[in-house]
Every structure is written in C-alpha cells, then in structure tokens.
C-alpha cells in the first residue's frame, strides 16, 4: 500500500502539481498576498472590534481614507491575479514575462462588463437607474422597459472575489498563447541596426493583438447572443460550483487529510494542496468581505454585519479560516508532540528535536519536527498527525456553521502569526478560544503515540551505549 502510494499515486499527483498551468496559478497568486495583508490591516483599523477604539479612529476622520486604501488593495486581487498568472507562465517558459502579464490584464478587463449600471426608461417615459447586476430584473419590473443608456465605468464587482476564476482563465490563456507565439517566433522583426530596446517593444505586439482581439470577439458573441458577459458565464458555471466544493465539510476534510498525508511522504503538503485550495479560499475570503461591506453600507453595525455574512451566501472556508486553523504550530498541529518532546521525553533524540521545535512552532513552522522526529515516513505517528488537524478543522467548521465562531469578514493575518493571536485578530475571541482548545487537544492526541516512539528511541540509545 505504502509502495503503491509512493511509486504510483504520488508521482502522478506531483506531475499534475508541476504542470505549467498549476504552477502558474500557484506562483501567480502569490503576487496578491501583500495586497491582501495590507488591505486586511486597513480593514481591521476602520472596523475595530473594540468600540472605544473604533470611535477614536472615526473621530480622527480617517475612515474614508482607510476604506479607500482597502478597496484599492484587497478589492483588486483578481486583476493582480490575472497579471501574476500570465506573467508566471511566460517566465517559467523562459520568455520576457511582463508583456504576457500586461496582456493578461487587458484580457481580464475585456471579459468583464464595461458598465456599472444602466438607465432604464418605461413605456410611460419614466427613467430609473439600475446597477449592473440587476438590469434585467429592472427591465422586467418596468414592463417593457428599455435600456436608454449604459453607465460606463470599471465594474468593481468583478475585480476581487467574483472575478477570480475569470482572472485565472485570462492569465492561463494569455500566458499560454503568448508563449506559443514566442516559441514559434511569430513576432515583428526589426531590421539590423535597430537597438535591442526598441525591438523588444515590438515583441509583444502580434500576440497582444491576437489575444486581445480573440477576447473582444468572445465578449461580443456572449453579449450579442445571450446578453451576458463572459465573466458572468465563468462565474456561474465554473466558479460557483468550485467554491461550493471547497466550502463544504467534505471539501475541508479532503484538504486537511491530504496535507498531512503528503507531508508523511516528505512532500510540502500545504504548498501542493494550496495550488487548488488557495484560489478557492481567496475567492471565498473576498466574497465574505464584499458581503460584510454590503451589510455596513446598509447601515448595520460591525457585529450585525458579521452575523449576516452566513445567511447572505458567505463562506466558512476562507483564507483567514485556513490561516487560523489549518496549520497552527505547523502542519499536523504538532505542538502537542513538541511539548511532550521538550519537557517529558526520555530519549536524547526527542529531547533535542523538542528544543528545536518550540521556538519555530510558535510561528507555525515545524520542519525540524517533521524531519527530525521524524514524522515523515514514520507510520507510528501517522494517526495523530492526520487526526489533530482534522479535529481542529472539523470543529472550527461545525462551530462556525452553528454560529459560535463568527464568519471571517475579510481581515486575515500572515500564516506565521502565532496561534491565539491570529484567531483574536482575524476572527475574535471565539476563534482564539477554539485554537486554544485545538492546541490542548493536540497534546492528548499525540501523547500515547509520542510515548511509544520515545520508548523505542530510548531502547535504541541504551543499546548503542551498552555496545
């Protein structure tokens, strides 16, 4: 069984993970991280959980500026993702990458509506204005209402969570087609004597013209035939089902089981699973942030807006949820094992790894524990290594579902933020409380298994001393 997994399943899985598309998505999305963290800090500042502090920020009069900073960082991550994916694809293929990124951005913008609303006139000659996502409904309500004119503008609805898969599609297609053009050397060639810099400016011209025109044609067809933009089709038929799977309890169980299983074979599970789970978590995060914002705009208080996220289509599995529960103290939630090793172990091996593991465990890093104990390829520790994160994540999921832990509302923290602090910042005391429970549970889950391994090591050490 182990051999089968290691020799057949794992290589096939790795082949998938290392395909150009998956690598482009995984590395390309990393470019959104700084904006997400910076945006989350703004959001935290103008939506402080402590009322006195929130009032103080409001009295300073800087809330509109913080809010502007937030929407211009966090709420444009789909745009950045399009650039990143196209850029990374071209870079990995060895071509000048920024041109591909720029083309991807243009393609993404072509796929989304170029209007933010429409002016509707009824048969009686009355006019009203409808937002972009309710034009059809407004037309029906006005029985026979016609679109008098469209209100043009960059439609922000699609620039973050809702547009994420569209952005990935734009990035992948642009990166791929661009690289094909470069490989086949289809580009405008300058006569000899033209400086390299000038020639380079023309390199991207043919692929840009082809790719962008293709996108415009697709947009035109969708609008002409179905009165729908391509991004709406992608959202409805690809993104919504994907988000549903990632946000379900079975989806979360699958992710959280795969991560320790891959680590068991020595592979960085979080990175590998992240290539699929990360985009979903980010979209869900941005969706929740948008729902929260709508609540605030409708006049709800901070707490009421958070409480309303769940019933308005919010998601449990988000980037913040991941950073708070997935790998606190490191993949496999190994803090229990580390505490045992540092303070209770008899064998020299375990004592030493325990000491090494304590410091980095606080920041959710545990490679010394994984490779030093080792947990990798050690069947004796596989059960607690899978069980501890499952207990933590299933618990967090269910507690969010029944309303004890609040839904995440856009604030997130870097994954290296120490547990309990991370829960407190991103979720609130309920999140921190569950993290504390999970950390304590980790100790008892690992304890019997750690004792057994410790006894083995001690016997080995005594044997080699006697010899």
List residues near another protein by CB under 8 A. 10, 14, 17-18, 27, 30, 263, 266-268, 270-271, 352-353, 356, 360, 365-374, 376, 416
Closest CB 352 distance from another protein, rounded Å: 7
Q: Which is nearer to another protein, 114 or 461 (CB)?
A: 461
- Phi-psi sector, 204: left (phi>0), alpha (psi -120 to 50), beta: alpha
CA distance 61 to 96: 45
CA distance 436 to 73: 32
DSSP state of 146: E
Q: What 3-state class would DSSP assign to 281?
A: helix
Cβ atoms of 247 and 316 within 8 Å: the answer is yes
CA distance 384 to 334: 9
Q: Which is nearer to another protein, 11 or 153 (CB)?
A: 11
In the numeric block, the tokens 């959280």 are attached to 256
CA distance 58 to 27: 38
Q: Which is nearer to another protein, 94 or 144 (CB)?
A: 94
Closest CB 70 distance from another protein, rounded Å: 26
Cβ atoms of 252 and 277 within 8 Å: the answer is no
Q: Which two tokens stand for residue 22?
A: 């998956």
Q: Which two tokens stand for residue 94?
A: 């060895």
Closest CB 93 distance from another protein, rounded Å: 12
Give the ranges where 300-372 is alpha helix by DSSP (H): 302-307, 319-325, 335-343, 348-361, 367-372
Q: Which is nearer to another protein, 97 or 163 (CB)?
A: 97
Cβ atoms of 39 and 75 within 8 Å: the answer is yes
CA 249, chain centre distance (Å): 17
Q: Which is nearer to another protein, 17 or 261 (CB)?
A: 17
Closest CB 211 distance from another protein, rounded Å: 25
Q: Which is nearer to another protein, 368 or 428 (CB)?
A: 368
Closest CB 251 distance from another protein, rounded Å: 23
Q: Which is nearer to another protein, 376 or 437 (CB)?
A: 376
What is the rounded radius of gyration, in angstroms, for the C-alpha atoms of the chain? 26
Q: Which is nearer to another protein, 18 or 462 (CB)?
A: 18
Closest CB 271 distance from another protein, rounded Å: 5
Q: Which is nearer to another protein, 115 or 363 (CB)?
A: 363
How would DSSP label each residue in 30-67? GGGHHHHHHHHHHHHHHT-SSHHHHHHHHHHT-HHHHH
Q: Which residue from 273, 244, 243 is spatially nearest to 259, judged by alpha carbons?
A: 273
Q: Which two tokens stand for residue 400?
A: 């969010």
Closest CB 273 distance from another protein, rounded Å: 12
CA distance 268 to 274: 10
Which positions ≥6 away from 157 have C-beta within 8 Å?
A: 132, 133, 163, 290
Closest CB 426 distance from another protein, rounded Å: 19
Q: Which two tokens stand for residue 213?
A: 């025109």
Q: Which is nearer to another protein, 30 or 459 (CB)?
A: 30
CA distance 368 to 361: 10
Closest CB 349 distance from another protein, rounded Å: 8
Closest CB 336 distance from another protein, rounded Å: 18
Q: Which is nearer to another protein, 272 or 438 (CB)?
A: 272
Closest CB 451 distance from another protein, rounded Å: 20
Q: Which two tokens stand for residue 257?
A: 């089981």
């Amino acid at each position: 069984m182990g051999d089968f997994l290691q020799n057949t399943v794992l290589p096939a899985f790795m082949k998938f993970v290392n395909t150009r598309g998956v690598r482009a998505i995984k590395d390309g999305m990393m470019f959104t991280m700084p904006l997400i963290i910076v945006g989350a800090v703004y959001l935290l500042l103008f939506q402080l959980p402590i009322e006195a502090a929130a009032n103080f920020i409001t009295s300073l009069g800087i809330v509109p500026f913080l809010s502007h900073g937030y929407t211009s960082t966090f709420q444009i991550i789909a745009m950045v993702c399009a650039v990143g994916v196209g850029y990374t694809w071209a870079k990995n293929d060895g071509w000048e990458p920024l041109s591909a990124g720029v083309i991807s951005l243009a393609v993404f913008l072509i796929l989304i509506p170029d209007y933010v609303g429409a002016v509707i006139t009824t048969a009686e000659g009355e006019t009203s204005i409808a937002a972009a996502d309710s034009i059809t409904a407004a037309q029906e309500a006005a029985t026979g209402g016609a679109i008098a004119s469209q209100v043009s503008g960059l439609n922000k609805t699609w620039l973050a969570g809702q547009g994420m898969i569209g952005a990935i599609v734009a990035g992948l297609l642009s990166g791929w087609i661009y690289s094909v053009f470069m490989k086949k050397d289809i580009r405008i060639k300058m006569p000899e004597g033209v400086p390299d810099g000038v020639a380079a400016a023309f390199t991207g011209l043919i692929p840009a013209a082809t790719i962008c025109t293709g996108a415009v044609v697709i947009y035109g067809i969708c609008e002409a035939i179905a009165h729908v933009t391509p991004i709406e089709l992608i959202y409805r038929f690809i993104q919504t089902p994907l988000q549903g799977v990632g946000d379900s309890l079975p989806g979360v169980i699958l992710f959280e089981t795969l991560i320790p299983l891959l680590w068991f074979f020595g592979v960085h599970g979080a990175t590998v699973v992240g290539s699929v789970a990360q985009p979903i978590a980010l979209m869900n995060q941005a969706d929740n942030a948008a729902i929260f914002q709508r609540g605030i705009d409708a006049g709800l208080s901070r707490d009421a807006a958070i409480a309303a996220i769940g019933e308005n289509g919010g998601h449990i599995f988000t980037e913040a949820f991941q950073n708070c529960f997935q790998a606190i103290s490191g993949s496999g939630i190994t803090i229990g094992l580390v505490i045992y090793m540092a303070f209770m172990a008899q064998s020299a091996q375990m004592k030493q790894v325990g000491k090494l593991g304590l410091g980095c465990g606080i920041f959710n890093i545990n490679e010394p524990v994984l490779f030093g104990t080792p947990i990798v390829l050690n069947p004796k520790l596989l059960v607690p290594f899978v069980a501890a994160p499952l207990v933590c994540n299933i618990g967090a999921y269910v507690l969010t579902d029944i309303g004890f832990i609040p839904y995440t509302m856009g604030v997130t923290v870097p994954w290296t933020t120490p547990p309990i602090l991370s829960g407190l910042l991103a979720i609130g005391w309920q999140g921190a409380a569950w993290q504390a429970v999970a950390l304590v549970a980790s100790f008892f889950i690992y304890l019997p298994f750690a004792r057994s391994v410790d006894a083995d090591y001690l016997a080995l050490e005594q044997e080699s001393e006697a010899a």
